[in-house]
């Protein structure tokens, strides 16, 4: 389904951790821009702990959150390595300038313009 959508060249935005770099490389054509967003380990860990209200949780819940952090860090590292291996652009999730540039590149590629009424 994703391949069929990408072939339409109408500008489709897909997001999600299931879009692995090793799969995205098949879509990485001039008509399809791919990027892999990632986090620094400390930032990813802090975000998970913050959004889960880790400090207020009972010990058994903290253990589950800790396991989730461990899996998330492994997955984050695997995504980065796969993106490098398949030459998919990497952007750190906190690099707002790089994200803005990528979004502008996508808008330019799809010839999208916005008019803001002031």
Domain ranges of the chain: 2-109
* Share of the chain residues as helix, strand and coil, in percent rounded to the nearest 5: 55, 5, 40
Give the pLDDT of residue 64.
98
Angle ∠(103,105,109) on CA atoms, nearest 5: 120
% of residues, the chain, pLDDT over 90:
47
pLDDT in tens, 23-64: 777 776 666 778 888 999 999 999 999 999 999 999 999 999
- Given a cut of 90, is residue 78 above it in pLDDT? yes
Alpha carbons 76 and 70: distance in angstroms, whole number:
10
- Rounded to the nearest integer, the mean pLDDT of the chain is 83
- 0.85 exceeded by pTM: no
The label of the residue with tokens 């980065």 reads 80
Provide the pLDDT for residue 118. 42
Of 11-15, 31-35, 46-50, 101-105, which gets the smallest average pLDDT?
11-15
């Amino acid at each position: 389904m994703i391949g069929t959508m990408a072939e339409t060249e109408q500008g489709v935005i897909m997001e999600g951790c299931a879009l692995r770099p090793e799969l995205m490389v098949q879509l990485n054509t001039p008509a399809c821009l791919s990027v892999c967003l990632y986090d620094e380990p400390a930032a990813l860990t802090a975000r998970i702990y913050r959004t889960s209200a880790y400090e207020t949780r009972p010990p058994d819940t903290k253990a589950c959150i800790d396991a989730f952090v461990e899996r998330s860090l492994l997955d984050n590292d695997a995504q980065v390595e796969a993106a490098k291996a398949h030459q998919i652009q990497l952007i750190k999730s906190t690099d707002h300038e790089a994200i803005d540039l990528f979004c502008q590149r996508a808008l330019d590629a799809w010839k999208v313009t916005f008019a803001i009424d002031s």
